[in-house]
Amino acid sequence: MLAPSEYRLQECENVRNLLRDTLRYAYFSKSSKDVYAECLDRLQLIENAFNILEEDNEDILEEMSNQLSDLSELIGRVERSRIEEFSWPFALALQNLALRICTKGQPGGDPAPRFFISADDELNSYQIITEQNAAGFISSPLFNIIFPRSLKNFVLLHPILGHELGHAAISAPQHSRLLSDEVLTPLAHKSPLQDLTRFQSWLDKIDADLDIDEQTKAVSAWQEELYCDIFGLLLMGPSYVGASTSLLRPFKTRAASDSHPPSVTRFWIINKVITALGWREQLRKHKQLRSATDRYFDSLSKLAANVPRKYRLLNETQILAAMERLQSFLADISGALCPMPDLVQVAAMRRRMLAGCPPVASEVTRSLKISNSNVDFRSVLFAGWITWMSEERPATDLTFIKLNMLCQRGILQQNAVDVWKTHERKQGP
């Protein structure tokens, strides 16, 4: 029989072996070392605690055992973070955005979160798992960005992770208070989400079946979900429309739950934000993009127009107040607020994809000089959606998966251009 202390130390050894197993595969070579070191530090801390704590410190021993269990789960996810399981060109671009958001405004000396990316077998399992630097136990918080494995190459659906980054941002200690006070509060002000009483009377209107515990949880969860949709839109730009409607539409009749508002309510709010931003008017200015842009935004506006009045949870004032505050929040973070896609660039990308080529390309000038533009990955994704909605597309053999892979290829090529340009800058003239 093992004594409790022997058992705990054996568990530490097992977790250490699991951690070593993560080295079997490479994922992001630049970040895997940091993640490995962080896990090793935590394991060492737990092991030290087990070595010095007496058996009568039951509460602390139990807490440390729980920490070990969490660490084991986390390492298990790292072990599955193989680069072959997700679209790394997209993940790299997203990780850069996430890092900028989560480190902006951090007090000096606070460790930057480490990101690791994994793929989950569950369909539709887009998620970002965050953690806090609880009581100095961890050196750097580890954030896990999770892609659904089955949607590996479907980069046109990946902008939904903009919504998940909204959760990550509000969980960051330096943003939490600000986003809560200045975005969530005006969003819910005088709405059914302001307090439980108002919420209950609204739930009665839609005949929702939530018990009191679920209702209490839903009030704050729904506020955050709706804020995350606005966050995702502003972060990922117009491509968020295609991703969110494609992923949510199959569930539009889903009843309200304690974690998420009904999908129809979300369509209504997303459409309100887009209308306020004037994206449709700006993007349809290019003649070659007009009809596809109209079809693209129509798919959402028609859904929104059919949302029964009782499901329109927030009014325009509430939505716009939250949107404007979020715009200025993101504008303060370099590159976070999605720029309006360059229409000439989008038209060229659409033309290339309809011809079966990647959207990003080295261009040759009249004097036969070569130039490589800087193309934001969010513009590539929007161009992908516009190509999908183009009248010419059905006459080609461009299936949704091929289109996604062309977009992914475009992001990869842009990554190569960025690597090259960074090197050139370092070399100097």
Partner 1 sequence: MTVLSSRQVLRLIRSGELYLSPILDPKEQIGPVSIDLRLGHVALFVRAAGLSHVDPRNYTRNKHDEQQKEQENKQKFARSEFTFGDRLLLHPGSLTLVPTLEWIKLPLNVKGVVTARSSWAREGLNIATANFINPGYNGIITLELANFGHIPIALYPGIRIAQIAFYEVTEPIPTKQSGQFDMSFEPRAGNIGEHDEAFLEDEESPDGSKA
Which residues make up the interface to partner 1 (CB under 8 A)? 26, 28-30, 83-84, 88, 92, 352, 355-358, 360-366, 368-370, 372, 396-398, 402, 405-406, 409, 412-413, 415-417, 419-420
Closest CA to 53 of 38, 65, 35: 65
**Of 386, 394, 216, 170, nearest to 289 (Cα)?**
386
Q: Which is nearer to partner 1, 334 or 365 (CB)?
A: 365
Amino acid identity of residue 114, one-letter, is R
Q: Closest separation between CB of residue 344 and partner 1, Å?
A: 15
Nearer to partner 1, 88 or 147 (CB): 88
CB of 237 or CB of 359, closer to partner 1: 359
Give backbone dihedrals phi and psi of 143, rounded to 5 degrees, phi first.
Answer: -105, 130
CB of 18 to partner 1, least distance (A): 22
What whole-number distance in Å separates Cα of residue 74 and Cα of residue 66? 12
Closest separation in Å from C-beta 21 to partner 1: 17
Closest CA to 10 of 58, 54, 65: 65
- Compare residues 52 and 355 and give the one whose CB is closer to partner 1: 355
* Cα gap 161→143, rounded to integer Å: 13
From the CB of 388, what's the least distance to partner 1, in Å? 14
Query: How far is 291 from 247, CA to CA, in rounded Å?
Result: 23
Q: How far is CA 322 from the centre of its chain?
A: 19
Give me the torsion for CA of 214, 216, 219, 221, rounded to 10°.
-60
In whole angstroms, give the CA distance from residue 57 to residue 215.
38
Angle among Cα 127, 75, 44 to the nearest 5 degrees reads: 135
Q: How far is the CB of 22 from partner 1 (least distance, A)?
A: 16
The 8-class DSSP code of residue 182 comes to I
Closest distance to partner 1 from the beta carbon of 203 (Å): 47
- Name the residue nearer to partner 1 (CB basis): 245 or 414: 414
Shorter beta-carbon distance to partner 1: residue 91 or 326: 91
Of the two residues 92 and 145, which places its CB atom closer to partner 1 in the complex?
92
Residue 321 C-beta: closest distance to partner 1, Å: 41
355-375 burial: b if 16+ Cβ within 10 Å, else e? eeebbbeeeeeeeeeeebeeb
Query: Which residue intervals of 127-180 are DSSP H helices?
Result: 161-171, 173-179
Backbone angles phi, psi at 295, to 5 degrees: -65, -40
Rounded Cα distance between 121 and 152, Å, is 11
- Residue the block writes with tokens 């909204």: 166
| Residue 146 region by backbone torsions, left for phi larger than 0, else alpha for psi between -120 and 50, else beta | beta
Smaller CB separation from partner 1, 89 or 166: 89
Cβ at position 35, least distance to partner 1 in Å: 15
Alpha carbon distance 111, 143 (integer Å): 13
Minimum Å distance from CB 160 to partner 1?
A: 23
Taking the least distance from each CB to partner 1, the nearer of 234 and 360 is 360
Residue 334 CB, nearest distance to partner 1 (Å)?
Answer: 22
Within 13 Å and on the Cβ side, how many CA atoms surround 357? 10
For residues 15 and 9, give the distance between their C-alpha atoms in angstroms, rounded to a whole number.
10
With respect to partner 1, which residue has the nearer C-beta, 82 or 104? 82
